């Protein structure tokens, strides 16, 4: 259990948070609206950087409290996530139950912040301190993650809500879902003034479009065969709870649906590969090598298909999707850094390192992973 107020930085180190941690007084006032009285005890402080969040004990209740800047999430934005979570629960998925206030709302707006409170699903937070882009502890964990993702997709199949409204920190799939990626990129930027008006971002987008064009060309004819689906878009070890701390533990719940949107199953699976199979943090100006964990990759895919068999078209789409799926996440991070934090330096990392740098890696050293995924699809 951590009580430190440090959060994960862009380079994998712990840094000072942009948002002050939750305090007892604000939590007490908030939880009273949910009918949870008593003096709250803040048991842990989340190291995630984009909001302030804590596990809180209030009397006999133990809940997860999250505070967002209003510019990142308003009540309507959280309602999109909460409706998806309610559907998943109703259809048997192991996900957090969102609590409602005594007035029946699931999000509280106050003083420029937006709050949400979740019941805590069963399981152990084994990867509490783990960063994105670091591997699982074992291939068995990767397989369990694949099982959990497939079950989530099965539960989401009948959820027909439209795609989310424009807001920061949502991993959408619109640019490379279009026949004309350049025109779709223009629409994406136009809807986000902080990106549209930033010359460095526009330049990075042009570079990324050129680098990613061959992957889009391979994906484009398969797009009509990829059914739309609400997806998680951020599956990695620390967004799962586990049955125990052993290397054979099973995933008991999927958490943190902040990046969720209406995309497709292959997009979500591509993100799961991108998040944990490639050690992106090893890429530096001096080192072009990023280790790829192929044992975990195959375990993830085997676990997924033990629950939900991919179609031939979905398998063939996985390699190009893995190369493309990170683009809009990099841009939505840049939108957050520019529009909310007003940090050009961090936006530069998102666009030059995450967007362009990874596109360049897929065209170079990452071609091996690309071909491995192609051969896997052909063999299946």
Residue 202 belongs to domain with CATH number: 3.90.1200
Domain that holds residue 73: 7-119
DSSP H/E element including 275: helix 265-276
Residue 225 DSSP code: G
Given a contact cutoff of 8 angstroms between Cβ atoms, the answer to whether 57 and 41 are in contact is yes
Is residue 173 assigned to a domain?
yes
Q: What's the whole-number mean pLDDT along residues 170-189? A: 98
Q: Which of 148, 147, 141, 143 is nearest to 126 (CA)?
A: 141
pLDDT of residue 6: 75
Query: Which CATH number characterizes residue 87's domain?
Result: 3.30.200.20
Number of domains into which the chain is organized: 2
Report how far residue 263's alpha carbon sits from residue 229's, in angstroms, rounded to the nearest whole number. 5
Q: Which of 90, 119, 148 finishes a domain?
A: 119
C-alpha gyration radius of the chain? 20
Label residue 283 by pLDDT band (50, 70, 90): confident
Is residue 270 assigned to a domain?
yes
202 and 334 share a domain? yes
Whose structure tokens read 């993702």? 149
Is residue 129 assigned to a domain?
no
List strand residue ranges (DSSP E) for the chain, in order. Answer: 7-8, 14-15, 41-45, 52-58, 61-69, 108-110, 113-119, 228-231, 240-242, 251-254, 261-264
Give 251's contacts (C-beta < 8 A, 6+ positions apart).
123, 141, 144, 145, 147, 148, 240, 241, 242, 243
pLDDT of residue 380: 77
70 and 103 share a domain? yes
Given a contact cutoff of 8 angstroms between Cβ atoms, the answer to whether 270 and 325 are in contact is yes
pLDDT of residue 287: 53
375 and 326 share a domain? yes
Q: What is the pLDDT of residues 301-351, one digit of tens each?
A: 999 999 999 999 999 999 999 999 999 999 999 999 999 999 999 999 999
Given a contact cutoff of 8 angstroms between Cβ atoms, the answer to whether 261 and 231 are in contact is yes
Give 155's contacts (C-beta < 8 A, 6+ positions apart).
87, 88, 91, 92, 93
Q: Which of 86, 119, 152 finishes a domain?
A: 119
Is residue 127 assigned to a domain?
no
pLDDT of residue 2: 39
115 and 146 share a domain? no
Report how far residue 376's alpha carbon sits from residue 246's, in angstroms, rounded to the nearest whole number. 29
Is the pTM higher than 0.85? The answer reads yes
Is the pLDDT at 4 greater than 70, yes or no? no
DSSP helix/strand/coil, 103 = coil
Q: Which of 119, 147, 168 finishes a domain?
A: 119
Is residue 17 assigned to a domain?
yes
167 and 113 share a domain? no
């Amino acid at each position: 259990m951590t009580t430190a107020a440090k959060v994960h930085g862009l380079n994998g180190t712990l840094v000072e948070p942009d948002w002050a941690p939750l305090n007892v007084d604000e939590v007490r006032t908030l939880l009273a609206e949910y009918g949870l009285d008593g003096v709250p005890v803040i048991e842990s402080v989340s190291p995630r950087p984009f909001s302030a969040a804590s596990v809180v004990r209030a009397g006999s209740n133990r809940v997860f409290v999250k505070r967002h800047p209003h510019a990142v999430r308003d009540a309507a934005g959280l309602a999109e996530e909460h409706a998806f979570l309610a559907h998943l629960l109703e259809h048997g998925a192991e996900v957090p139950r969102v609590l409602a206030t005594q007035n029946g709302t699931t999000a509280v707006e106050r003083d420029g912040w937006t709050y949400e409170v979740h019941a805590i699903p069963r399981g152990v937070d084994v990867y509490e301190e783990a960063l994105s882009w670091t591997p699982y502890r074992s291939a068995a964990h990767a397989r369990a993650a694949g099982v959990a993702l497939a079950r989530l997709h099965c539960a989401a199949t009948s959820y027909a809500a439209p795609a989310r409204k424009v807001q920061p920190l949502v991993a959408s799939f619109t640019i490379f879902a279009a026949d004309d990626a350049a025109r779709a990129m223009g629409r994406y930027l136009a809807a986000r003034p902080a990106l549209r008006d930033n010359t460095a971002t526009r330049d990075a987008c042009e570079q990324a479009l050129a680098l990613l064009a061959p992957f889009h060309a391979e994906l484009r004819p398969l797009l009509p065969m990829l059914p739309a689906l609400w997806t998680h878009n951020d599956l990695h070890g620390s967004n799962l709870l586990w049955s125990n701390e052993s290397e054979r533990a099973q995933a008991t719940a999927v958490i943190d649906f902040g990046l969720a949107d209406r995309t497709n199953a292959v997009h979500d699976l591509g993100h799961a590969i991108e998040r944990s199979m490639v050690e992106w943090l090893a890429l530096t100006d001096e080192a072009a090598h990023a280790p790829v964990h192929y044992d975990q990759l195959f375990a993830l895919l085997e676990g997924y298909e033990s629950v939900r068999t991919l179609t031939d078209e979905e398998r063939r789409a996985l390699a190009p999707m893995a190369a493309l799926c990170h683009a809009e996440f990099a841009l939505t991070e840049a939108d957050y850094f520019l529009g909310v934090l007003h940090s050009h330096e961090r936006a530069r990392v998102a666009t030059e390192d995450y967007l362009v740098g990874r596109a360049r890696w897929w065209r170079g050293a990452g071609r091996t992973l690309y071909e491995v995924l192609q051969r896997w699809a052909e063999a299946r």
